[in-house]
Amino acid sequence: MSQSKVSIVDIQNRIVREFSLLEDWTERYKYIIKFGSKLPHLDSSKKVENNIVKGCQSQVWLHAEFSDGKIIFEADSDAAITKGLVALMVHLYSHQTPSAILSTEPTFITEIGMHEHLSPTRANGLASMVKQMKIYALAFSS
Amino acid sequence: MQDWNNIRNQFPVLKTQVNGYALSYLDNGASSQMPESVITRLASYHQHEHANIHRGVHYLSQTATTTYEETRRLVADFLNAESLEQIIFTTGTTDSINLVAESWGSSFLSDGDEIILSEMEHHANIVPWQMIAQKTGANIKVIPLLDNGELDLDIYANLLNERTKMVAVVHVSNTLGTVNPVSEIIAMAKNVGARVLIDGAQATPHMAVNLQELGADFYTFSAHKMCGPTGFGVLYGNKSLLEAMPPYRGGGDMIDKVSFSGTTYNDLPHKFEAGTPPIASGVVFGEALRYLNKIGMDEIAQRESYLLKYAMKGFKSLQRLQLFGTSNNKTAVISFLLDDIHPTDAGTILDKYGVAVRTGHHCTQPIMERFGIPGTIRASLSFYNNEADIDALINGIKETQSFFN
């Protein structure tokens, strides 16, 4: 392994810890939006039809590459809150092995009080995004 | 003079608290709410009256049939339709349009015929026509939108010709609130011998509709936007056309005689009503119509026009806001954007303040394409909304703007 990578569980724990310091929904959403604004720029060549995550009210692009046994995710969204949630998911699953991604659920979403964004009626794409990441993990593990 | 405060109090769901705020329900374009009397009617039907209809000789079946059929009379009266046979019950507007496109289209459309739709149609009044056009070789022409959200009738006039077989347009735009001049649109279509379908889903909840005056061949709407239940709707049709059209679905209730050597069909309206319908929903919709009749559709239209005026006065105090659909002739629908704040983000923050709006493309992607936007935030009002709901929306918009500032 070229670099030691923090486990998904550790990352989730850290996110949950940081959110526990935030007082109300305003602070939580502001944190999420700020997290999204730090997401590395997604090249326009990767904002193609094939990378669009379906089932989102806002536009979400997810690009995946497999390198050295790990999946590198890149993503973007045109909505600020969605982009923040997407950035958290990239932070969680990028540079992880397919088996680690498949065996670890993103439980932090519920723990930081964002479970409403997983509801299918929200149609904001977080659930579709999680599913798409798992599909990539499955594809790269076979 | 109506006591609007008392009317509002008849809607139990409006007393809901959301995130510590009183709910401001401004998503009536998607679905309206039910008053107490309609909710109670559903329970009493199940407690005392339920049986399958149109087939039993026993007491309950006879009563349920009478009650269910009473709704047909209420609908015919509501629309001022010529006869009960012209009122077909469906599962809603989408179902009604699919019925016409498939049944009428498969018999009356052929290669090279033209169907005229408009750029402001709901997907439910686009896709069924695309499907039947593909099957029959008919072509679809589109009436474009003007900047203010009205239809370009000059272009419509140019689109009409002897190949035009159907003009299918919306009465009131769900996204923009524009009330289309349907009388004029119908008259122009009749001049070239075309049939007309009017999607009335956003009209019947807000104004009186007189079909004998309008002269549309087909008119359709949904119960759940009129204080009624989901999964129930109406298709009104020209009687001779309905008679000439083949059944859309086969099964019980729609037959006269069934044999393996051939089946004959039931008379109107049952020819188009295969299978056991949502009986309770039909009964309850009758109660919803009684409720609306009691208030009066003209009173409702005036109330909503007042609420729209009140809202627009408040919107004048807002900055960095773009309105879509600014026709002088519109229902109480306000579609807007807050500069570059994504509508989904705005909807999420508004929800935190108890304000329920719809965000996105509202199943009208061609409108979004026309204006070059990803979607809008839509507040759609009903007669039971009040000034406080609108104040909450305006405050919520200010909070949303300062949140994303």
Phi, psi of B195 (to 5 degrees): -85, 155
Q: Of residues B192, B363, B368, B394, which has the active-site annotation?
A: B363
Tens digit of each residue's pLDDT (9 = 90 or more) over B164-217:
999 999 999 999 999 999 999 999 999 999 999 999 999 999 999 999 999 999
Buried b (16+ CB within 10 A) or exposed e, A26-63: eebbebbbebbeebeebeeeeeeeebebeebbbbbbbb
Average pLDDT for chain A: 89
3-state secondary structure of B343: helix
Residue A52 in contact with partner chain B when CB distance is under 8 A: no
Pairwise CA distance, residues A90 & A65, whole Å: 13
How far is A112 from chain B, CA to nearest CA, in Å? 16
Residues linked to residue A61 through DSSP beta bridges, in sequence order: A52, A76
Domain boundaries, chain B: 4-30+296-404, 40-293
- What the block records as the tokens of B255 is 């037959």
- In order of B293, B301, B310, the CA distances from B204 in angstroms are 12, 10, 22
Contact B374 A82 (CB under 8 A): no
- A56 flagged as catalytic: yes
Residue written as token pair 């890149």: A74
Please check whether the domain covering B40-293 is classified as CATH 3.30.70.330. no
Contact A57 B359 (CB under 8 A): yes
pLDDT at A121: 57
Cis peptide before B229 (omega within 30 of 0): no
- What the block records as the tokens of A100 is 């680690």
Strands B218-222 and B87-90, bridge-based pairing: unpaired
- Say what the pTM is: 0.94
For residue B306, the number of C-alpha atoms closer than 13 Å in the C-beta half-sphere is 12
| pLDDT (tens place) for every residue of chain A, 142 residues total | 444 578 999 999 999 999 999 989 999 999 999 999 999 989 999 999 999 987 667 889 999 999 999 999 999 999 999 999 999 999 999 999 999 999 999 999 989 988 877 776 555 578 888 999 999 999 998 7
- A-contacting residues of B 336-395, CB under 8 Å? 341-345, 348-349, 352, 359-360, 374-375
Task: Tell me the chain A residues in contact with residue B403 when contact means C-beta distances shorter than 8 Å.
Answer: 26, 29-30
Residues 6+ apart with CB under 8 A from B222: B92, B93, B201, B232, B233, B234
The interface predicted TM-score (ipTM) is 0.86
Residue B141 CA, chain-centre distance (Å), reads 23
Tens digit of each residue's pLDDT (9 = 90 or more) over B106-130:
999 999 999 999 999 999 999 999 9
pLDDT at A122: 52
Pairwise CA distance, residues B11 & A131, whole Å: 39
Please check whether the domain covering B4-30+296-404 is classified as CATH 3.20.80.10. no
Contact B344 A124 (CB under 8 A): yes
Segments of chain B scoring below 50 in pLDDT: none
Task: Tell me the chain B residues in contact with residue A30 when contact means C-beta distances shorter than 8 Å.
Answer: 403
- Which ranges of chain A does DSSP label H, i.e. alpha helix? 8-20, 25-37, 80-93, 98-103, 108-111, 126-141
Pairwise CA distance, residues B331 & B170, whole Å: 13
CB B75 within 8 A of CB B222: no
- In order of A84, B26, B381, the CA distances from B393 in angstroms are 25, 9, 11
Residues linked to residue B257 through DSSP beta bridges, in sequence order: B264
